[in-house]
Structure 1
Amino acid sequence: MDLQWFADEKTEKATPKKRQDSRKKGQIPKSQDVNTALMLFVAFIILWLFAGPAIFSGLQGMMLDSLSRFLHMDVTTPNIASLFRTLTWNMAILVLPLMAITVLAGAFGSFLQVGSLFTTDPLKLKLEKLDPIKGAKRIFSARALVELAKSILKIVFVGAAVIIVLYMNIEDVLLLSQKNIEVSAVTVGELALMMGIVAAILLLILAIPDYLYQRYDHEKQIRMSKKDIRDEHKTSEGDPKIRARRKQKQLEMSMARLAQDVPKADVIITNPTHFAVALKYDQAKADAPYVLAKGMDYAAERIKKIAREHHIPMVENVWLARTMYANLQVNDQVNEEMFEAVAEVLAYVYQLNGHT
Structure 2
Amino acid sequence: MRMDLQYFAQEKTEKATPKKRQETRKKGQVAKSSDINTAVILLLVFIFLFVYAEVPGEFMHHLFIKMYLHNTTMEMNVENVMSMFASLLSEIAIVLLPIMLVALLAGVIASMLQVSILFAPQAIKPKMSKINPIKGVKRIFSARALVELIKAFLKIILVGFAAFGIIWIYVDDLLHLALLNFRTGFYMVSWLTGIIGISCSLLLLILSVPDYIYQRYDHEKQIRMSKQDVKDEFKKMEGDPRIKSKRRQRAQEMATQRMMQEVPKADVVITNPTHYAIALRYDDQVMQAPTIIAKGTDYTALRMRQVAELNKITLVENKPLAQGLYDGAEIGQEVPEDLFRAVAEVLAYVYRLQRTQAT
Q: Same fold (TM over 0.5)?
A: yes
Against the structure 1 CA distance between its residues 171 and 233, is the aligned structure 2 distance closer, same or farther, given a 3 Å change threshold?
Answer: same
Aligned counterparts of 2:102 and 2:182: Cα–Cα separation in 1: 31
Match of 2:47 among 17, 39, 45: 45
> Superposition pairs for residues 23-34 of structure 1, below 5 Å?
23-34=25-36
Q: Is the 8 A contact 1:280 1:289 kept in 2?
A: no
Question: How far apart, in 2, do the equivalents of 1:350 and 1:181 lie?
Answer: 107
Q: Which residue of 2 aligns with 1:17?
A: 19
Aligned AA for 1:27? Q
Does the Cα contact within 8 Å between 1:40 and 1:200 map onto a contact in 2? yes
Q: Tell me the CA shift for residue 5 of structure 1.
A: 2.2
Partners of 1:287 and 1:190 in 2: how far apart?
Answer: 81
Q: Can you list the C-alpha shifts for 1:97-118, whole angstroms capped at 9, x where unaligned?
A: 1211221111111111111111
CA contact (8 A) 1:62 1:90 kept: no
| Shift in CA distance, 350/194, structure 1 to aligned 2, threshold 3 Å | closer
Q: Using the TM superposition, give the Cα deviation of residue 51 of structure 1 relative to its aligned residue in structure 2, in angstroms.
A: 0.7
Match of 1:208 in 2: 209
Identity of aligned residues (%): 41
Task: Give, in angstroms, the shift of residue 315 of structure 1.
Answer: 5.4
Structure 2 residue aligned with 1:316: 289
Distance 1:2 1:66, change over 3 A: same
Between 1:187-196 and 1:226-235, the stretch displaced more is 187-196
Which residue number in structure 1 is paired with residue 341 of structure 2?
349
What runs of 5+ residues in structure 2 fail to find an aligned partner? 249-267, 281-286, 319-334, 346-359
Instruction: Give runs of aligned pairs for residues 129-140 of structure 1, distance below 5 A.
Output: 129-140=130-141
Contact 2:16/2:224, CA 8 A, preserved across alignment: yes
Q: Give me the whole-angstrom Cα distance separating, in 1, the residues matched to 2:233 and 2:159.
A: 47
CA distance in 1 between counterparts of 2:96 and 2:189 reads 19
Contact 2:275 2:297 in 1 (8 A): no
Gap regions ≥5 residues in structure 1? 248-278, 295-313
1:274-328 CA distances to partner (integer Å, 9 max, x unpaired)? xxxxx9979xx54897449x9xxxxxxxxxxxxxxxxxxx9534xx53xx23xx3
**Conserved? CA contact 1:281–1:288, under 8 Å:** no
**Residue type of the alignment partner of 2:72:** L
Deviation at 1:37, TM superposition (A): 1.0
**1:329 aligned partner, one-letter code:** G
Give the deviation of 1:348 after TM superposition.
Answer: 5.8
Q: Is the 8 A contact 1:161 1:199 kept in 2?
A: yes
Cα offset, 1:341, TM superposition? 11
1:225 is aligned to: 226
Letter in 1 for 2:31: P
Task: Check the 8 A contact 1:29/1:211 in 2, yes or no.
Answer: yes
Q: Which of 296, 316, 320 is 1:329 aligned to? A: 296
3-state DSSP of counterpart to 1:316 = coil
The CA deviation at 1:143 is 1.6
Corresponding position of 2:151 = 150
Contact 1:31 1:207 in 2 (8 A): yes
Give the match for residue 77 of structure 2.
76
Q: What is aligned with 1:305?
A: none
CA distance in 1, matches of 2:182, 2:93: 25
Tell me what 1:268 maps to.
Answer: none
Q: Does structure 1 conserve the Cα–Cα contact (< 8 Å) formed by 2:53 and 2:187?
A: no
Counterparts of residues 91-106 of structure 1 (less than 5 Å): 91-106=92-107
Alignment of 1:180-195 (within 5 A): 180-195=181-196
Q: Does the 8 A contact of 1:38 with 1:106 survive in 2?
A: yes
Query: Following TM superposition, by how much is the alpha carbon of 1:82 offset from its aligned partner in structure 2, in angstroms?
Result: 0.8
Alignment RMSD: 3.5
Structure 1 residue 330, shift from structure 2 partner? 5.0
Q: Which residue of 1 aligns with 2:325?
A: none
What secondary structure does 1:11 align onto?
A: strand
Secondary structure of 2:296's counterpart equals: coil
Q: Alpha-carbon deviation of 1:225?
A: 0.9
| 1:161-191 deviation line (CA, Å, top 9, x unaligned) | 2112112212212333444454333322222
- 1:62 is matched with 63
Displacement of 1:74 in angstroms is 2.9
Is it true that 1:159 corresponds to 2:160 in the alignment?
Answer: yes
In the TM superposition, 1:210-289 aligns within 5 A as 210-238=211-239, 286=273
CA distance in 1, matches of 2:170, 2:13: 55
Q: CA deviation at 1:340?
A: 8.1
The equivalent of 1:254 in structure 2 is none
Number of residue pairs matched?
A: 288
TM-score (norm 2): 0.70
User: Which residue identity is paired with 1:217?
Assistant: D
TM-score normalised over the length of structure 1: 0.71
Hey, what's the Cα distance between the residues in 2 that align with 1:61 and 1:206? 40
Shift of 1:9: 1.4
Q: SS of the residue aligned with 2:161?
A: helix
